[in-house]
């Protein structure tokens, strides 16, 4: 690979890293939430178990249902993890190798 080709590939890799960083930021803002899949996954989860009644049989207010929020958080974490894995396991090693090869020429 010629130095010009290496520089071009390095620029492509850096652009992809920036794209992935923007994607991660969008996921964390909630721009990539799929509400249909969140609702269906939340429906498959078990509802929260009711807490036992108090000592004098007074019922405690029901805890809010957080299943959809839990699914949303899991999906966001999964997307972020996939993007970070791509950057750390594929892009950064290749960037470092290209930088090293360019510096030794």
pLDDT at 54: 65
Question: Which is more confident, 65 or 22?
Answer: 22
Average pLDDT across the chain, whole number: 88
Percentage of the chain modeled with pLDDT above 90:
56
Q: For the chain, which residues make up each domain, given as ranges? A: 3-42+70-103
Q: What angle do CA 69, 31, 37 make, to 5 degrees?
A: 50
Residue 38 neighbours by CB distance under 10 Å: 19
- pTM: predicted TM-score of the whole model, two decimal places: 0.79
The three-state secondary structure class of 62 is coil
Euclidean distance between CA atoms 74 and 71, whole angstroms: 5
Residue 32: burial class (beta carbons within 10 Å; 0-12, 13-18, 19+): middle
pLDDT attached to residue 59:
67
Give me 36's structure tokens: 């249909």
Per-residue pLDDT, 1: 83
Contacts of 59 (CB under 8 A, 6+ apart): 53
Name the more confident of 33 and 4. Answer: 4
Task: Say what the pLDDT of residue 35 is.
Answer: 86
Contacts of 84 (CB under 8 A, 6+ apart): 24
Q: What would you report as the CA-atom Rg of the chain, rounded to the nearest whole angstrom? A: 23
Q: Among the listed ranges 5-14, 30-39, 83-92, which one has the minimum average pLDDT value?
A: 30-39
pLDDT in tens, 46-88: 777 666 666 666 666 777 778 889 899 999 999 999 999 999 9
């Amino acid at each position: 690979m010629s130095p010009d080709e290496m520089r071009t590939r390095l620029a492509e890799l850096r652009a992809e890293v920036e794209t992935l960083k923007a994607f991660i930021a969008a996921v964390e803002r909630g721009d990539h939430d799929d509400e249909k899949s969140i609702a269906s996954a939340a429906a498959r989860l078990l509802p929260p178990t009711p807490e036992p009644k108090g000592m004098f049989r007074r019922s405690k207010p029901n805890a809010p249902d957080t299943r959809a929020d839990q699914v949303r958080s899991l999906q966001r974490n999964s997307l972020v993890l996939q993007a970070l894995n791509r950057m750390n396991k594929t892009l950064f090693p290749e960037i470092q190798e290209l930088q090293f090869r360019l510096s030794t020429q």
